[in-house]
Amino acid sequence: MNRAQTDIEATRERLVEIATALLEERGSPALTMQELAIRAGMSPATVYRYFEDKDALLEALAEYWFRPKVAAMEEVVASDLPARRKMYEFFARRFTMMRKVYQADPVAFQSYIDIGNEHFEQVRSYVDLADHYLGVIIGEAMGEGFFAGLGVDETISLVNQMVAPYCAIGTMTMFMERLTEEKLARIIDAVFDGLSAADRGAKGVTDLRAA
């Protein structure tokens, strides 16, 4: 990589870090190209040399936010752990990262939720990537005999619903004080010990019945 390219990437990274600080301090409405330029001590025209528009900046912010989470997922998927343990680590490592951010500054954490909701297209690929890696783990689990009768896509959907408080940050904030790694481990054990296509009677009635 030549020096010019290295300098460009370093400046982009610095601008993303400044934008992150601006977002945490003042919330998503304050994150504009003009405000970024002021904070960085640059002209707006210079900032636009590195990010052609706000969407490009938001994509870089999303990459910055998800970078350690993606690294954690890739490390877990590449490990030689059994599938049950992999699934726990897959969710637990990202949860502890996000909990740390929340505990450091709940208001800033909410800013990330707000900007993610406002610009979901910039984060969708990371949601899809997480589902892809979860599918890999589920495929390995199926090879070990778990989730009998279910397809991979259906199992991804079911697992995501069951562990939503540990991975969906909007849901996480509502339950944060009650979320622990120990509870997550029990949920993952329940997933592996009970999830299958078998009908065990839960839906075997035609109408809801009063107790």
Question: What's the confidence (pLDDT) of residue 3?
Answer: 58
Numbered ranges of CATH 1.10.357.10 in the chain: 64-194
Question: What's the confidence (pLDDT) of residue 211?
Answer: 59
Exposed, middle or buried, 174 (CB in 10 Å: 0-12/13-18/19+)?
exposed
User: Tens of pLDDT along 40-62?
Assistant: 999 999 999 999 999 899 999 98
Q: How far apart are CA 182 and CA 38, in angstroms?
A: 45
Do the Cβ atoms of 119 and 58 come closer than 8 Å? yes
Q: How far apart are CA 50 and CA 59, in angstroms?
A: 12
Does the pLDDT of residue 206 top 80, yes or no? Answer: no
Structure-token match 């993952």, residue found: 188
Question: What's the confidence (pLDDT) of residue 122?
Answer: 79
Q: How far apart are CA 165 and CA 176, in angstroms?
A: 8
User: Tens of pLDDT along 140-156?
Assistant: 999 999 999 999 999 99
User: Tens of pLDDT along 66-99?
Assistant: 999 999 999 999 999 999 999 999 999 999 999 9
Q: What is the mean pLDDT of residues 117-146?
A: 93
More confident residue, 206 or 125: 125
Does the pLDDT of residue 6 top 60, yes or no? Answer: yes
Question: What's the confidence (pLDDT) of residue 209?
Answer: 66
Say which range, 4-18, 41-55, 160-174, has the weakest mean pLDDT.
4-18
Numbered ranges of CATH 1.10.10.60 in the chain: 1-52
Fold observed for domain 64-194: Tetracycline Repressor; domain 2 (1.10.357)
Q: Which helix (H) or strand (E) holds 64?
A: helix 54-78
Q: Give the chain's mean pLDDT.
A: 91
Question: What's the confidence (pLDDT) of residue 26?
Answer: 83
Fold observed for domain 1-52: Arc Repressor Mutant, subunit A (1.10.10)
